[in-house]
Structure 1
Amino acid sequence: MFAQRASSIVDGSPIVYPFSEAAEAHPTGLIACLQQIKGGSSSILTAPSSKAYNTDRLGFNLRFNYKPAAIFHPRSEDEGAAAIRCAAIHNVAVVPRSGGHSYEGYGIGGKDGALIIDLNLFQKIAMDTNTGIAIVAAGVRLGDLYTKVWDAGQYLIPAGTCPTVGIGGLALGGGLGMVGRKYGLLSDSIVSMTMIDANGNVQEVNATSNIDLFWALRGAGAGSYGLVTEFKIQAYKAPDKVTTFSIIYPLRTYRSAIEAFGAWGPSAADDVMAVMILKPSSIRINVNFLGPKEQAQETINTLLNRIPGKPTRIKMVEGTWLQAAIKWGSGTLNSTAWEGSRYTQGRSLLYRTPLSTNEMDIIYKYLNYSPDNDTITRVLIDVWGGKIDRPSSSSSAFDNHRGVLYSIQFFIAWNDPSSTSGSIGPKCLKWSTDFAKEIRAAYRSGHNLEAYQNYIERDLPNWLHAYYGNNVLRLQQIKKTFDPQNVFTFPQAIPLP
């Protein structure tokens, strides 16, 4: 398999392991190798025999129950590098985990037998107020990040709404968020990264060092190329005031509301970020405006004037950026509490042209067809444009998605863990599968499906092209350069050429 030698660290001393050409998966040997790395350090090794194994191996989506060969929580880059070498020696796939929110359970391998390197002990957040650059370890979750950079001088970082999401997967897959139309995607604000490659070597990755890897990691880097341990991210001074809106309409207005929302988005100011949430009984439009309420009201009026009839409710709140982040985080920036139901199926499509009447009717049909009263069914439409289409950073692997009008995400969540025939789980999965088939068949935004890689979907047809477009061949060549033996792999990792 390999024609070189690697070392790991045991009590500060290097131990040399030969890489065998005939190496095969060997979990017992892997555990022994990882135990030598751990030694007397405060890193954590969770083996299948550990009491914590059945808890540690779970991600956000409890629908997946994969059994990793081990879960290793390193304290340092040296320990992370040594763990990668152990996995390579024993021919075990390596999968990084930041927050564990992968839609398809890839943070726990996406299949049995992987070594999960969990970065939850990497928690550094430091703010350079001279440059506005935040140094953020890859195990940090958004709630902590927002709070710390705010406290450092009222800064913000363009990222998502869920406080428990880890920065690693979000940043490497793009990172759509609450201020994207003003500041771009999270990946657009990455200045540099530190990555441990498949040979255990630490790589500094930026616009002048490892340029191709810098391009690939920003948009297609979630787990395919190496273990990213740290980011340097450009932060921005938050405006003095931020105004949030929640606007409710009855679901029966879905056609006029979706049409108005799609027409309004491209012409709205970059200070606006908005999402339309369609539920079985109502439509809620959430708007985040980077400015005072007077300016916000003027902008919102241009949307309201496009929708026939009056909304059933409008709530406007003027406050600070941090208060807005708390609002969109469902009232908290607690980074440790899992939120909501955790048996889910999520999917996405990206649109460069407005939804057709047929597509809108399909959405309406499935929102009115719920498998059970206790399930949660949602369709989210996020407006893109603004700085997302005009990144100030260098070219990245996300560039194939520039020019998107809006994304739609459709998901279902339930509480019953049973997967037996007749239980709610299979019914929910059928709802999701049928919905996907119908709306894909009606999709007319270009010749091929286009979807958002951070809402990854295992059974999406031609997923490589849908996520990465014409960048696939270049991404594969970069994979060959930095991981020629495919050490970092999961079911939808960038494949070798």
Structure 2
Amino acid sequence: MIQRWLRLLALAAALALLGTIQAAPTDLVSCLSDIKSTSNASYLTTQSSASYKTERLVFDRNFDYLPLAIYHPGSEEDAAAAIQCAATYNVAVTPRSGGHSYEGYGNGGKDGSLVMNVDKLQKIEFDPATGIVTVGAGVRLGPLYTYLWENGQYLIAGGTCPSVGISGNALGGGLGMLSRKYGMLSDTVVGLRMIDAKGELWEANDNNNSDLYWALRGAGSGSFGLVTEFKIQAFKAPDKVTTMLIHWPFNMTRKVIEAYGRWGSPSLSEDLFPAMRFEKQIELQINFLGSLADAEAALAPLIQDAGPPSDKVVHEGTWMEAAILWGAVPNLEAFRNPDLTAHRYHRGRSLLYREPLSSADIDIIIEYLTHPPEHSTKVFVIIDIWRGKIDRPHTPSAFDAHRAVYHSINLSVEWKGDSGNASASAEECLAWSASFMSKLEDVFPGGRPNVEAYQNYIDRDLTNWLEAYYRGGLPRLQALKTKFDPQNVFSFPQSIPPMAGKFNSQ
């Protein structure tokens, strides 16, 4: 490893003497091809590879970027060597886990990046004595949840979609149906391993490299290095989990949102996670860690305030049954082996609120959902209630910027298409989404400069996005970026930049 790094440094120096700022792309490919793999699993995909056309695609087909190459490391040593190659030839590195970024950053967010696809890092090891699970960066949520369930009926507090990768979910926060009980997924990460831009491996936890440990949990999605492994605190699943799907007609939107805001007070049971979806009707999704009787009691004040629903479907069962329901798959096997070819054409955006939605917010939501784009296949708004254990993490982290959030709001539009942004349907839907978001920013409490948003629903059009995602933690994050990646090797359109004067644009 040291000899390779010295050889690459010598080559870079020689190129600099010749006045060359960036070598031809084929030199990077040659460097990557020259890696003597320590793992038979590692492989390289280039633009001339037969599989490149499909490998570069991400879940959201609205994005169609062209990576310079895609490297699949099967070991940390191979990953370090590939990162050293990219640093030598001044090529931006972008990590990819599940490929579900709202801005397509899993394939660089721009043309010409080196994508580090961690799909070969598939370790899952569980220690029942501590309840800590060690997870490779390429593991998907569905297989991980299934493994923990089948090895003692444990759970972790992550997202709901089984095809989502653990890395982006945990590094950006990780909101899910267990968050009010256990906190964000990032709050339950007790250790990480990360390779920096020099190819050096760092272990970060509360006792070692605590500054990096702080940054990676909430702001670590590809800005500081390549995270290869997580240690996550798991919890024993409760004996009973109750799920509910409750519907009201769309014409009750104002009354239901107002009642929902009053109901979601700090006294709301932490065993309960509610997500309210507004589409052609109103659907309240309830996940309650306990019995049906206790769930009904917790829900009763909302029903009394909002008015009787048009229908209600309830089920008292196991955590795994609830996970399958929220994952929108038919059975356990589909959850264990999620369809990795599934995709959509979609634009999502989010805002975070520290108080219930105002009358002006509700007016805008009703207006835009009542007048969707002509060529959209689906438009919806999801309002989640936060608080609970989210506000009481076991140790400080970069996600502390979003403690005491009351609601998150996620607005989305989907359409059919096969040509990305070039299609008329996409243009119409993207314009609708941008206008919707702009109107909400206009009436945001304190005005546009105070907009706050959730990094895992990343949005490059967002006003003041660095402040919206990281708030008061931004100066510390930029200082750490400068420490671990001063040349900005790990970069994409919304990565955290080094401090002023240290930024080397890729």
- TM-score normalised per structure 1: 0.94
Determine if contact 2:376/2:429 at 8 Å carries over to the other structure. no
Report the equivalent of 2:323: 325
Q: Secondary structure at the match of 2:294?
A: helix
Opposite residue 24 of structure 2, the aligned amino acid is: H
Opposite residue 18 of structure 1, the aligned amino acid is: A
Unaligned runs of 5+ in 1: none
Tell me whether 242-251 or 30-39 shows the greater mean CA deviation: 30-39
Report the equivalent of 2:358: 356
Q: What is the number of equivalent residue pairs in this alignment?
A: 486
Tell me whether 139-148 or 414-423 shows the greater mean CA deviation: 414-423
Q: Distance in 2 between matches of 1:459 and 1:368?
A: 24
Q: Secondary structure at the match of 2:192?
A: strand
Report the equivalent of 1:388: 390
Structure 1 residues 441-464: Cα deviation after superposition (integer angstroms, max 9, x where no partner): 111267600000000000101100
Task: State the 1:304 CA deviation.
Answer: 0.9
Q: Secondary structure at the match of 2:315?
A: strand
Report the equivalent of 1:302: 301
Task: State the 1:467 CA deviation.
Answer: 0.4
Tell me whether 133-142 or 14-23 shows the greater mean CA deviation: 14-23
Q: Distance in 2 between matches of 1:231 and 1:445?
A: 38
| Identity percentage of aligned residues | 51
Determine if contact 1:6/1:19 at 8 Å carries over to the other structure. no
Report the equivalent of 2:35: 37
Task: State the 1:36 CA deviation.
Answer: 1.1
Query: Kindly tell me: are residues 51 and 445 of structure 1, through their superposed partners in 2, closer, same or farther at Cα, counting changes over 3 Å?
Result: same
Task: State the 1:260 CA deviation.
Answer: 1.2
Q: Secondary structure at the match of 2:157?
A: coil
Structure 1 residues 416-449: Cα deviation after superposition (integer angstroms, max 9, x where no partner): 2246877211110111011111111111267600
Task: State the 1:338 CA deviation.
Answer: 4.5
Determine if contact 2:124/2:134 at 8 Å carries over to the other structure. yes
Q: Distance in 2 between matches of 1:223 and 1:123?
A: 19
Task: State the 1:19 CA deviation.
Answer: 5.5
Opposite residue 299 of structure 1, the aligned amino acid is: A
Task: State the 1:294 CA deviation.
Answer: 1.1
Task: State the 1:198 CA deviation.
Answer: 0.8
Determine if contact 1:341/1:414 at 8 Å carries over to the other structure. no
Query: Kindly tell me: are residues 265 and 38 of structure 1, through their superposed partners in 2, closer, same or farther at Cα, counting changes over 3 Å?
Result: farther
Determine if contact 1:6/1:199 at 8 Å carries over to the other structure. no
Task: State the 1:336 CA deviation.
Answer: 3.6
Q: Distance in 2 between matches of 1:25 and 1:445?
A: 48
Tell me whether 190-199 or 25-34 shows the greater mean CA deviation: 25-34
Q: Distance in 1 between matches of 2:10 and 2:338?
A: 40
Report the equivalent of 2:503: none
Determine if contact 1:6/1:16 at 8 Å carries over to the other structure. no
Opposite residue 405 of structure 2, the aligned amino acid is: V
Determine if contact 2:441/2:451 at 8 Å carries over to the other structure. yes
Of the candidates 478, 484, 487, which is equivalent to residue 485 of structure 1? 487
Determine if contact 2:376/2:413 at 8 Å carries over to the other structure. no
Tell me whether 326-335 or 383-392 shows the greater mean CA deviation: 326-335
Q: Secondary structure at the match of 1:287?
A: strand
Report the equivalent of 1:174: 173
Structure 1 residues 29-51: Cα deviation after superposition (integer angstroms, max 9, x where no partner): 11111111155833121000001
Structure 1 residues 155-199: Cα deviation after superposition (integer angstroms, max 9, x where no partner): 000011111100101101011111000000000000000001111
Unaligned runs of 5+ in 2: 500-506
Determine if contact 1:241/1:319 at 8 Å carries over to the other structure. yes
Structure 1 residues 289-320: Cα deviation after superposition (integer angstroms, max 9, x where no partner): 00011111111112211102x21110000110
Query: Kindly tell me: are residues 36 and 190 of structure 1, through their superposed partners in 2, closer, same or farther at Cα, counting changes over 3 Å?
Result: same
Aligned pairs for 1:12-411 (under 5 A) are 17-18=9-10, 20-21=12-13, 22=16, 23-37=21-35, 41-266=40-265, 267-279=267-279, 281-308=280-307, 310-331=308-329, 332-338=334-340, 342-372=344-374, 374-392=376-394, 394-411=395-412
Task: State the 1:26 CA deviation.
Answer: 2.9
Query: Kindly tell me: are residues 304 and 445 of structure 1, through their superposed partners in 2, closer, same or farther at Cα, counting changes over 3 Å?
Result: farther
Determine if contact 1:8/1:16 at 8 Å carries over to the other structure. yes
Structure 1 residues 257-287: Cα deviation after superposition (integer angstroms, max 9, x where no partner): 11111211223100001100000x2000000
Q: Secondary structure at the match of 1:492?
A: coil
Q: Distance in 1 between matches of 2:74 and 2:423?
A: 45
Task: State the 1:18 CA deviation.
Answer: 2.4
Q: Distance in 2 between matches of 1:232 and 1:197?
A: 19
Q: Distance in 1 between matches of 2:123 and 2:489?
A: 27
Q: Distance in 1 between matches of 2:11 and 2:369?
A: 54
Q: Distance in 1 between matches of 2:430 and 2:302?
A: 35
Structure 1 residues 344-376: Cα deviation after superposition (integer angstroms, max 9, x where no partner): 111000001111111101111111112136521
Query: Kindly tell me: are residues 137 and 419 of structure 1, through their superposed partners in 2, closer, same or farther at Cα, counting changes over 3 Å?
Result: closer
Report the equivalent of 1:432: 433
Q: Secondary structure at the match of 1:381?
A: strand
Determine if contact 1:37/1:79 at 8 Å carries over to the other structure. yes
Task: State the 1:379 CA deviation.
Answer: 0.3
Query: Kindly tell me: are residues 221 and 194 of structure 1, through their superposed partners in 2, closer, same or farther at Cα, counting changes over 3 Å?
Result: same
Determine if contact 1:351/1:445 at 8 Å carries over to the other structure. no
Task: State the 1:339 CA deviation.
Answer: 7.9
Tell me whether 23-32 or 52-61 shows the greater mean CA deviation: 23-32
Q: Secondary structure at the match of 1:253?
A: helix
Q: Distance in 2 between matches of 1:435 and 1:25?
A: 44
Determine if contact 2:44/2:72 at 8 Å carries over to the other structure. yes
